[in-house]
Structures are given as C-alpha cells and as structure tokens.
A and B are shown apart, each in its own frame.
Chain A
C-alpha cells in the first residue's frame, strides 16, 4: 500500500484522525457544557465528577477556577493537536506532495509539540507544587515528536526545492 496520495495509508489515517477529532470535539463540548451548566456530581471533598456518556468512566477534578481552566486548556490543546495532524494528513493524501503549504503545516505541528513541554513546565512552576512527575514523560514524548516533525519538514523543504528546479528544467 502506498504511503502518500490517493488510496494510501495517509488517506486511511486521515479518516481515522477525522473520527478522533469529531469524537474528541464532542467530548470537550460535553465536558464544557456540564461544567458551565453545573451538570455534575459533587463529591464529599468538593470535587466535581462528570459521568462520561456511554462509558463507565468519569472526569474528575477540584472544583475551583484554576483546575477547570487547566482541564479545558489541556483538552483544547489536544483538539488543536489532532486538527494540525489532520491538516498534515490531508496534505499527505493529495497528489502534489512537495508544496509550501505542507512545509508550513509541518512547521506548525513542530512548534505546537514544543508548546506542550514549555507550557507544562511554566504551568507547574506557577500553579503547581513545583514537582514534575508524569509531565516530564509527556513533555519528552512531545519533544521527540517535534524533533521528528522538524526533520520531516526539513526533508520536505529540500524536496520542494528539487521539485521547483525540476519543474523549471525545460
């Protein structure tokens, strides 16, 4: 199976990612709606508990502004993350591969991956107890993806240059 273009793995992944974006968007909408309209259970230790529809699971957290803002920012970050990934896969499934727009999309994805560790580190320093535990693992994971994405972007820049030269060879 081809990696790029029509009837490729990119096309398959594009539709999978689109389903994830839609599902995740609905989930964020549901959580935000429940928090805004106070449709949640309150536990004894003053924590909100939102039951997720169709699954036996809950979204829980301390009932204060800081926690709610961080939770919504975290959810919104991954929605944007998958949207950027969707845009890259959309470009991968098209016929013209070495274009300026795909380079821009890959660059945005790289910067966005770097945003997570930076934002988490600042967030923990300002709002948390100053300890980094799981955040370090997630941060490293995002830095690793950013490095790979940066390399792919650089390769596509070279490809774009070669493509232009080839197109202008008469």
Chain B
C-alpha cells in the first residue's frame, strides 16, 4: 500500500512505548501492532485524533504517501 505509517518514528521521537500509547488511545496492543506494521486497511478519525493528541503531532507526521 502506498500509505506508510510512521508511528514507530513518532513513538521514538516522543520516547513513548507502544503499550503506553495503546493504553492512552484505548486500543489493544495487537491492533496498534497491526497499524504499525502497515497491515491495517483503514484508520478511524477518532483513532487518528487520539494518536495525534497522545503524541502531540499532526496526522501528516504519522501517515505518509509514497508512490509505488
């Protein structure tokens, strides 16, 4: 998929663990792992909003479009 999820990068920048982010956002670590690995088919606005709030960033910091 040409949409790349850069959640790992943002987590590293904010020095936050996946487990903590999952807890703050209110999703399971398994689902966060699916999102990080790029296996997710879609992301809800509410999830994106919660991630952006937790990491204090913009959606563009997490999602990136790279032409295949």
Contacts and interface: CB of A to CB of B under 8 A. Distances in A.
Contacts of B27: 170
Interface of B: 27, 31-32, 34-35, 39-44, 47
Nearest to A164: B41
A165 interface: yes
Interface of A: 164-165, 168-170
Nearest to A167: B41
A164 B27 CA distance: 18
18 contacts: A164-B41, A165-B41, A168-B34, A168-B39, A168-B40, A168-B42, A169-B40, A169-B41, A169-B42, A169-B43, A170-B31, A170-B32, A170-B34, A170-B40, A170-B42, A170-B43, A170-B44, A170-B47
Contacts of B47: 170
A163 to B, nearest CB: 11
Contacts of B42: 165, 168-170
A84 B5 CA distance: 44
A130 B47 CA distance: 68
Given A164-B41, A169-B42, A170-B42, 10 more contacts: A165-B41, A165-B42, A168-B34, A168-B41, A168-B42, A169-B40, A170-B31, A170-B34, A170-B35, A170-B43
